[in-house]
Chains A and B, each alone.
Chain A
């Protein structure tokens, strides 16, 4: 203690103690308040932004479908979020190793090949960028962490560029006009076209109000199957009120829960993208894989249809939503044979349920949307139907 420290100073400090305690509490309230404000902002801002569906003139379902059919959007650019939840077990490394094995089997193992990139879209959440300027120029980019895969169609050329491995895939197509098909189905429009193809008397189609998608006013078209036995609950398509372009596509399963497939624009612009977007020259030192003309077109068609409908050469049993695709693998034993068949087959077998019926015996593999029956004599039945409907279809098909 300093000699001039007086007694009343000590007393003053003692008197200040409760005051200091209050001050301490008040100061610690500041970080707590900051956390509170941040939490409130995070919680409330999306709710406030989403409030209020746009007010649009009434429209019938028929008119809306016509509007989609008439829609002729030639120029656009935007960001698409695609979320797939088939309820498949998250195989991670195993899935990609199987996929890469398949890619190697088809000839070249280039990671810039659209086929090897497409498989990644089957599960999880992905961000894509699309740009289009007429039928001659399209670009589709798959955004990954720190890298990007771009598929560019410009006139006769189709380029695939994988920035992660610095590999380039190149194909030329004589029939460039038709090469629209080279683009994999990734935009809400592609899925909406598929869904509207199936609209017939087995389906109820209604307009289910309006909503805002990517900052644009949109009508909601609700497609519901009337048949029982399908696993599809409902399909909801948000259609841009001005251009008639589908902006969002959501498929919910009958079992409820999260959407199996949710594809929607998060940002969209109908202005013409700059020409540089579609210009591509392979960078120096990149490995370029050339694809032959005819095989390129075939491969793209195949990959597209493989993604959307199932394998080529499949027979379709039944109609509407309960239709079941069937094909013969020709393989006895029921499960795919190959170099790795013993362990892979055993593993797959453990995932499925054994069933039997008039058709014989088989294994049913279930996902949240698609069920598949592989019989012991090598036939495959698959469709967006319940297990019972699948067995019934197999019995009838026998």
Chain B
């Protein structure tokens, strides 16, 4: 270590590999938050991220306007049960637009956005040639990976909240609010409805934890950001197609998307927890498996870019 101590860290040695953990001094624990903050700011400031969030915010607006136009003449939305969950209740209560919007975005838009951000996390840095500079900083690979994952998780929450807020605003503008009816046919107050909407948003965000871990793992496998994003989004689509094939029913409970729509169970009265718990457990399992796989890959691979 004597050489590492004499070599100034701020000056990367060309050709030499930055060894993990060869930090000059132990960075203070607060330093991690500095890294996280800079990661968060970098992610949110990207035009790509803003465009993704814009698309997500536009979905509730489109759904709300479409339902409003369709029901203007007193008709009922959803044509007797077609379309995403809860769509026929939107005219009763604007709060249902939140649930419809989340049900509409969860199968594709949300995992796509998360896949783009997660796939870009490591591979994007590698392809733009900034990964080695990040590793030269005295952070260590494990810490950098954790920071990247936390950033992706923060984006999951942010993306879900963007959909929720946009839907809430559009729902309040276009449709009446007030007491609402659960899908079990019982009534709850608007305050409890809001609490349930927030809970649903959190559950939807948690449903994306598995995709985020998968994307991060894919991201450590390749040096090309585009390849990682395409692979992750492709996996999301493939798994959802496989989830529809009845012959694979023995495998389907282990697909990360299998229990996604279980968030609707929060609108039952009393809440039906079975599938919700299964969903959260499954996401935790995916996070553990692919998170540790990403760690194993990232801490041992040669950084050549």
Contact = CB atoms under 8 A, between A and B. Distances in A.
Interface stretch (B41-49, B57-65, B130-138, B282-290): B282-290
Interface in B87-142: 88-89, 91-93, 103
Interface in B1-36: 3, 7, 13-16
A277 B182 CA distance: 11
Nearest to A38: B285
Contacts of A147: 81, 85, 183, 264
Contacts of A2: 13-16
A147 B33 CA distance: 43
A216 B263 CA distance: 29
Contacts of B272: 79, 127, 129, 143
A39 to B, nearest CB: 10
A301 to B, nearest CB: 24
A164 to B, nearest CB: 4
A6 B2 CA distance: 12
Contact of A166 (B89, B264, B295, B299): B89
Contacts of B289: 31, 34-35, 38
Contacts of A6: 3
A280 B182 CA distance: 11
B184 interface: yes
Contacts of A148: 183-185, 268
Interface of B: 3, 7, 13-16, 71, 76, 78, 80-81, 84-86, 88-89, 91-93, 103, 176, 181, 183-187, 261, 264-265, 268-269, 272, 274, 285, 288-290, 292-293, 295-297, 299-300
Given A143-B272, A146-B86, A281-B187, A287 B76 contact: yes
A276 interface: yes
Interface string A270-313: 00000011011101111100000000000000000000000000
Interface of A is mostly: mixed
Contacts of B86: 146, 163
A28 B293 CA distance: 6
A161 B264 contact: no
A145 B71 CA distance: 24
A23 interface: yes
Given A38-B289, A147-B85, A162-B81, 15 more contacts: A2-B16, A23-B300, A129-B272, A146-B85, A152-B185, A163-B88, A165-B78, A165-B80, A167-B80, A280-B185, A280-B186, A281-B187, A284-B92, A285-B71, A285-B76
Contacts of A24: 296, 300
B112 to A, nearest CB: 21
Contacts of A111: 80-81
Given A2-B13, A111-B80, A276-B186, A163 B292 contact: no
B187 A279 contact: yes
A30 B295 contact: yes
B210 to A, nearest CB: 13
Contacts of A48: none
Interface residues of A, number: 47
Interface string A1-43: 1101110010000000000100110011011001100100000
Contacts of B88: 163-166
Nearest to A23: B300
Interface centre among A4, A35, A150, A164 (most CB of B within 10 A): A164
Contacts of B269: 277
A287 B79 CA distance: 12
B186 A279 contact: yes
Contact of A30 (B81, B183, B296): B296
14 contacts: A4-B7, A5-B16, A6-B3, A9-B3, A24-B296, A28-B296, A28-B297, A79-B274, A146-B84, A146-B103, A164-B85, A166-B92, A284-B91, A286-B92
A280 B185 CA distance: 6
Contact of A164 (B7, B71, B81, B292): B81
A24 B297 CA distance: 8
A146 B261 contact: yes
Interface centre among A111, A147, A166 (most CB of B within 10 A): A166
A159 interface: yes
Interface string A136-155: 00000101011110101000
Nearest to A167: B80
- Top 10 closest A-B pairs, CB basis? A146-B85, A163-B183, A27-B296, A166-B88, A31-B293, A164-B81, A146-B264, A165-B81, A24-B300, A150-B185
B244 to A, nearest CB: 13
Contact of B184 (A141, A266, A286): A141
Contacts of B184: 129, 141, 148, 150, 163
A164 B78 CA distance: 9
B233 to A, nearest CB: 22
A159 B185 contact: yes
Interface centre among A5, A129, A146, A148 (most CB of B within 10 A): A146
Contacts of A277: 186, 269
A213 B81 CA distance: 35
Given A20-B300, A161-B185, A162-B81, A34 B92 contact: no
A167 to B, nearest CB: 7
A14 B86 CA distance: 63
Given A143-B268, A146-B85, A283-B89, A1 B15 contact: yes
Interface string A312-331: 00000000000000000000
A27 B80 CA distance: 53
Given A280-B185, A285-B92, A30 B292 contact: yes
A371 B232 CA distance: 50
